[in-house]
Amino acid sequence: MIRFRSKITEWIDVSYLMRFIILLLILYYGNLVFIAIIDHKGLVYSQFFDKHFNYINWLRNSLLYTSNLLAHTTGLNTHVTLPFRLTSQEGSYIEIVYECLGINFFCFWTAFVWANKPTNLNNFYWWLIGMLGLWFLNSVRITLLLMAIVNQWHYNRYMDHHTLFNLATYSLIALFIFFYINSRKHTNLKPAVQTMS
């Protein structure tokens, strides 16, 4: 049993894994608690948090307005109908509900980066790059989906757009993880800077 445990610790950083899981659970369930706090129909609704700290609406609006801008660059005439919709001139629309925001991906990436030690400016840059990449990918997905509806593109019978988006997002996260780990290895190989007195 001891040999088996030592073999596991050779391949897996158990302390990192525990930090990652704990942070991921805190972020995941923290989001669920926050949603309950800003839900007008909920038992624990807080108008203060809903008005001043509603990052769910901030994220949704940023996705809507960015997707609207992307749609205009492709020649599609659209407008944002708050609080949930990106609507085309023809009347087709995409409704951005909580499940469309990709918050679980943001939680995963945040937990992955911030579970690493030391937490420094390099981690912040990687966290920001990942968050912006995931956010932009989701904006592109929303734009393409509205374009598909307006232009009546044929849907894939074998894979819906949610599954396709999940695959694309996991692939992007895997790419970010690869570059993040390689950047850490490269940083660790550099000799410590010494000052001469």
pLDDT tens profile 149-163: 898 887 666 667 788
Residue 191 lies in a domain: no
Owning domain of residue 165: 12-184
> pLDDT-derived band of residue 23, with 50, 70 and 90 as boundaries?
very high
Residue 195 lies in a domain: no
Residue 192 lies in a domain: no
Residue environment code for 124-133, b if the CB has 16+ CB neighbours within 10 A, otherwise e: eebbeebeeb
Total domains present in the chain? 1
Residue 80's beta-bridge partner residues? 86
The DSSP code sequence of 27-86 is HHHHHHHHHHHH-TTSTT--HHHHHH--HHHHHHHHHHHHHHHHHHHTT--EEEETTTEE
pLDDT of residue 128: 96
Residue 80 lies in a domain: yes
pTM for the structure as a whole = 0.84
pLDDT of residue 192: 35
